[in-house]
Amino acid sequence: MASIEELKKVRLEKLEQIKKTGVNPYPNSVDRTHTISELEGDFEGLVEAGNPITIVGRIMSLRGQGAISFVDLFDGTGRFQSLFKKDNQINYTGSENIENEMDSFQFFRDVIDESDFVEVTGNLFVTDRGQKTIEVSEWRMVAKSLLPMPDEHYGLKDEDERYRKRYIDILLNPEIHTMIERKSKFWNSIRSFLLERDYVEVQTPVLENTTGGADAAPFMTHHNALDIDVYLRISAGELWQKKLMVSGLPKTFEIGRIFRNEGMSNEHLQDYTQVEFYEAFSDYKKGMLMVKELYQKIANETFGTTEFEINEQKVDLAGDWEIYDYVKILNDHFNIDILEDDVDVFVEKLKENKIDFDKDINKEKAVDTLWKSIRRGYVGPGFLINVPVFLEPLAKKTEGGKTVERFQVILGGSEMGKGFSELNDPIDQSERFEHQEKMREAGDDEAQMKDNSFVEALEHGMPPSFGFGISERLFSVLSGKSVRETSIFPLMRPKENKKD
C-alpha cells in the first residue's frame, strides 16, 4: 500500500498537470443553481422542467471504468450521484484549451481523485436501478485535494486521531454532523425561551481583574497594554450581570465561553459554553418553576422527547420533579449534622466509608465529597435545596440563616444547573468573600476571590433577584455522550509533546 507521502506526490503531479492546461484548480467562485438538498426536495419538478442544473460538492466516491464514471458528490446538505459518459462530449466549463487540445472526459479521468471538489452541470434522470442522477454535460474543478480521506466504511478509529482531525470525523460520520446541528438547536431553544420573556442578551468581559461567580481554578494571562495580570473568567458574567441588576436592567442573560483550569473528564472541559440569566424581583422558588419549563422546552425542541437515559437511569423531564433536602440527606445517610459538626467528624465519615479525599481537606470540600459519593442514588428530575451557607458564598440565606436559597437540578444522579436567590446584602457578601479569601490563603485555589468593586455595587442597592446557570454539559448528558465527544474541536496536546 502506498504511503501518505507517495499519494500526496501523485496528487501534486496532477495539480501541476491541471495548471499546465491554464486551468485554475482553485477558482474564486462557483456557479451552482441548487444545493443538493434543494435538488432532492424538488427532483420531480426539476426533471419535468428539463432545464440543466448545476451542483457543487466533494467527491465521496468515484467508480466506473472505460467510457463511464459514477461520482457521488456531497455539499454538506446532501449527497447525489453524477454520471460522466465519454460519448456525451462533456465540456470543461470556461476553458477552450481543454476543448481544443484534449478530451474533457479523459482530462477528468486523468486529474480527478476522491476528496476533490467539482462543479457539474447536466440534466436529471433516474437510472434503471432507481437512482436519482445528474448526467453531466459540463464540469469544472473547484478545489484539488492533496491528501486522501480515509475509507468511508472504516473512517478514523483511533479516538486521539478522530479528535485531532475532527473535520474528517465530521465528514465521514453523519452522527457527528447531526450532533453539531442539534447543539445549535439546543442553544437557540434557550435563547428563544429567554427572549420571549423579555430578557436582554448581553456580553460581559472575558478578561477580569478578579474571578468570581464560581468555585474554580482560573487561567491567568498578561495584558500587555495595561501591563497587568488578568484572569479568564470562570462564569458567564455572574457578577457583571448582577451589576446590571443594580443598573436597572431587570432581565439579562449571556451565552458565552468560560474557562476553568481544572481536570478533564467525561463531564468536564477547560473551556466551554455556558448560559447565565438573572431576573430582578424574583427568587429561587419562582426560578424552579421557570427552569422546569426551560428544560422541557430544550428537550422537546432539541431532541423531540422528554425521556432520556442518564447514567443508566431513566429520566422523564415531563414527569414530577422531586425536591431533595441536602442537609437531611447527608444527616440521614451518614448520621452527622453538617450544620453543626466540624471537619474532623466529616473526615472520619470519609474514612469509615472508604471515600478518597485530599490529606489537607477543609470543611467545605469534605461535605461536598460526602455528597458526591452518594448523589448517583438520586435519579430526578429534581431540585437539590437547603445547602449550608458555607458552601455557597453568593446566595441569599434562608430565614433560619444556616442554609441558602439555592437549588441544583438533579438528572440521573448528576448536577445539571444551579440557581439561587441572589445575595444582595453588601455586608453579608463582604463577610463571605473574607471567608473565601481565608480558604484561598489556606491552599484552596478554587475558593472565590474577593471582588471589592462588586461589594461596592451592592452598596448602591441591588433588588431581590434570581439567577441561574447551565453549561453545555446538559447537552452532552441528554445526548448520552461525553462532553468531550460533543465538543466540535476538543483541545489536544500538540502531537510533538504528546506523552506515551
Distance between start and end Cα atoms, the chain: 27
Based on the fold, state whether residues 267 and 411 are members of the same structural domain: yes
Q: Which range among 63-72, 156-165, 231-240, 250-259 has the greatest average pLDDT?
A: 250-259
Residue 366 lies in a domain: no
Do 120 and 201 lie in one domain? The reply is no
The CATH code of the domain that includes 112 is: 2.40.50.140
Are residues 176 and 260 located together in one domain of the fold?
A: yes
Q: What is the pLDDT of residues 108-128, one digit of tens each?
A: 999 999 999 999 999 999 999
In this structure, the answer to whether residues 119 and 183 fall within a common structural domain is no
Would residue 155 count as lying in a domain?
no
Q: Whole domain around residue 179: which residue ranges? A: 168-321+380-497
415-433 tens-digit pLDDT: 999 999 999 999 999 999 9
Phi and psi torsions of 16, nearest 5°: -65, -35
Cis amide bond preceding 381, omega within 30: yes
pLDDT digits over 201-210, tens only?
999 999 998 8
* Domain match, 430 and 290 both: yes
Query: Domain containing 414 — which CATH number?
Result: 3.30.930.10
327 domain-assigned: no
Q: Which residues of 264-303 are buried (b: 16+ CB within 10 A; e: fewer)?
A: eeeeebbebbbbbbbbbebbbeebbebbbebbebbbeebb
Looking at the structure, do residues 79 and 186 belong to the same domain, yes or no?
no
CA 178 to chain centre: 13
Q: In the numeric block, which cell numbers belong to residue 348?
A: 472520619
Residues 126 and 243 in one domain: no
- Establish if 160 belongs to a structural domain: no
Asked whether the predicted pLDDT for residue 23 surpasses 60, the reply is: yes
In 3D space, the residue among 203, 238, 234 whose CA is nearest the CA of residue 219 turns out to be 234
What number is the average pLDDT over the span 201-229?
89
User: 348 in a domain, yes or no?
Assistant: no
Nearest to 288 by CA among 245, 334, 264, 322: 322
What integer is the mean pLDDT of 249-261? Answer: 95
* Count of the separate structural domains present in the chain: 2
Strand ranges (E), 111-219? 117-126, 132-143, 200-201, 207-208
**Alpha-carbon gap, residue 135 to 84, rounded angstroms:** 6
In a shared domain, residues 289 and 438:
yes
Among residues 252, 241, 216, 253, which one has the least CA distance to residue 231? 216
Predicted TM-score (pTM) of the model is 0.89
Residues 426 and 281 in one domain: yes
Whether 48 and 187 map to the same domain: the answer is no
Closest CA to 14 of 136, 145, 105: 145
Report yes or no on 77 lying in a domain: yes
Q: How far apart are CA 125 and CA 131, in angstroms?
A: 8
Same domain for 247 and 126: no
The helix (H) or strand (E) run that includes residue 68 is strand 68-74
Average pLDDT over residues 472-492: 92
User: Mind listing the pLDDT tens digit for each residue in 168-178?
Assistant: 989 988 999 99
Using one digit for the tens of pLDDT, what is the confidence trace for 357-379? 988 899 999 999 999 999 999 99
pLDDT of residue 297: 98
Regarding whether 38 and 81 lie in a shared domain, the answer is yes
| Residue 161 is assigned to a structural domain of this protein | no
For range 236-255, the mean pLDDT: 95
Q: For residue 359, is it within any domain? A: no
- Nearest CA to 7 out of 127, 150, 105, 152 is that of 150
Own/partner long-range contacts of 147-152 (Cβ < 8 Å, ≥24 apart): 147/4, 147/7, 147/8, 147/11, 147/115, 148/4, 148/7, 148/11, 148/113, 148/114, 148/115, 149/114, 149/115, 152/60, 152/61
| DSSP H or E run through 267 | none
% of the chain surpassing 90 pLDDT: 75
Q: In the numeric block, which cell numbers belong to residue 265?
A: 473528564
Whether the predicted pLDDT of 500 surpasses 60: no
Residue with the three cell numbers 418553576: 289
Could you give the C-alpha distances from 226 to 210, 222, 233, 479, 486, in angstroms and in order?
15, 9, 18, 43, 37
Confidence at residue 46, expressed as pLDDT on a 0 to 100 scale: 95
Specify the pLDDT at position 182.
96
User: Rounded to an integer, what distance in angstroms lies between the CA atom of residue 346 and that of residue 328?
Assistant: 15
The letter for the amino acid at 280 is: A
Three-state DSSP at 52 gives coil
Angle between helices 343-352 and 363-372 (to 10 degrees): 30
